[in-house]
Amino acid sequence: MIQFGIIARNFSSSSAVQSAIKNVTVIGGGLMGSGIAQVTAQAGQNVTLVDVNSDVLAKSQKSIQNSLGKVAKKIYKDNPQEAEKFMTESFARIKTSTDPVSAVQGTDLVIEAIVENIDVKHTLFQKLDSAAPDHTIFASNTSSLSINEIASIVKRKDKFGGLHFFNPVPVMRLLEVVRGSETSDTTYNTMMQWGKSVGKTCVACKDTPGFIVNRLLVPYMAEALRLLERGDASARDIDVAMKLGAGYPMGPIELVDYVGLDTTKFILDGWHKKFPDQALFKPIAIMNKLVAEGKLGVKTGEGFYKYEKK
């Protein structure tokens, strides 16, 4: 029987599936990059986590420690010593850096999880392409951009693909593995195998906007915001309705706060530019206003709801 995320969460400490990948560089230590670094380290691989400055990296490390604590408690509930060992060893496998060029020396896989902007991603990958060893695979965790378009800037197009994780990465069991038009069979198979090695269930998808999950989930979240914008229902009632009426673990407005209003806006704006006639992708004024005010959701302490500062 297939078990779904909320029923059987993935809290594996290590995986029986082995991968040829031993050293991984994760670029971007925000919501997603921190989680990707964590699950990689939990699987016994060495990780270098890169971000723009040491303050951001200190925040990433704090969030990884918190999350490792939750995972350890779950796996080793009756064995505090093993829990402590698991946390210490996993955390020790994660190095941090503010220099992407030196961080990719000797790495087997680079996973990019920086801001959802094609120009910024191009600048990064162009720099990495000349710095990383020839065998290194490049992957983007993009939510909505085309893998082919991101890969257009590098020479190693056969070694480029999409590895799309879900938030919170240590909990959500899915990994979408995306093949670009030039991704080689070897690269694709290595990415699939690697995904399994970090305990994820992998699904394959072509390079289409939003792949599988976001093509369905983002229009759903956008429609919920339009209900709110029209005054058809309150945020709370929309969220309660989808949790109790449709069995979702979070309501759609809560989910926008959880994903980040900036990221959700970047996704919608990108698709709107590409498909201006598609009503589902039209800009949403109430969300854009909050983004302009710096209210980006859980990560800034306020979005559509307010959160206690962690």
| Binding stretches for ligand NAD (CB under 6 A) | 27-33, 50-52, 56, 113-116, 120, 124, 141-143, 165, 167, 259-260, 263, 299
Among ligand CAA, ligand NAD, none, partner that 52 touches (CB below 5 to 8 angstroms by kind): ligand NAD
- In this chain, which of 41, 132, 137, 259 binds ligand CAA, going by CB under 6 A? 259
Q: Which stretch binds ligand CAA (CB under 6 A): 97-105, 164-172, 179-187, 194-202?
A: 164-172
Give the HSE-up count for residue 204: Cα atoms under 13 Å, Cβ half-sphere: 10
Are 125 and 138 within 8 A, CB to CB? yes
- DSSP character for 298? G
CB of 207 to ligand CAA, least distance (A): 15
| Nearer of residues 138 and 166 to ligand CAA, judged by Cβ | 166
| Nearer of residues 165 and 194 to ligand CAA, judged by Cβ | 165
- DSSP character for 139? E
Nearest Cα neighbor of 25 from 6, 4, 48 is 48
How is residue 98 written in tokens? 């503010």
**C-alpha–C-alpha distance, residues 272 and 238, integer Å:** 24
Paired with 170 in beta bridges are none
Among ligand NAD, ligand CAA, none, partner that 224 touches (CB below 5 to 8 angstroms by kind): none
List all residues 6 or more positions away from 99 whose beta carbon is below 8 Å from its beta carbon. 50
Nearest Cα neighbor of 175 from 202, 142, 139 is 202
CA angle 37, 200, 173 (to 5 degrees): 95
CB of 98 to ligand CAA, least distance (A): 24
Position 118 contacts ligand CAA (CB under 6 A) = no
Q: Max Cα separation, the chain?
A: 58
CB of 134 to ligand CAA, least distance (A): 30
**C-alpha–C-alpha distance, residues 195 and 198, integer Å:** 5
Q: Going along 101-200, which residue ranges are E strands?
A: 109-112, 137-140, 160-164, 174-179
Q: Which residue is nearest to ligand CAA (CB)?
A: 143
Kind plus residue range of the DSSP H or E element containing 163: strand 160-164
Position 161 contacts ligand CAA (CB under 6 A) = no
CB of 67 to ligand CAA, least distance (A): 4
- In this chain, which of 168, 212, 243, 288 binds ligand CAA, going by CB under 6 A? 168
| Nearer of residues 103 and 221 to ligand CAA, judged by Cβ | 221
Position 6 contacts ligand CAA (CB under 6 A) = yes
Query: Catalytic residues, which ones?
Result: 143, 164, 176, 214
Among ligand NAD, ligand CAA, none, partner that 261 touches (CB below 5 to 8 angstroms by kind): none
Nearest Cα neighbor of 285 from 236, 229, 238, 239 is 229
CA angle 107, 109, 115 (to 5 degrees): 110
CB of 32 to ligand NAD, least distance (A): 3
Position 219 contacts ligand CAA (CB under 6 A) = no
Residues forming contacts to ligand CAA in the complex (CB under 6 A) are 6, 67, 70-71, 74, 143, 166-168, 170-172, 213-214, 217, 249-250, 255, 259
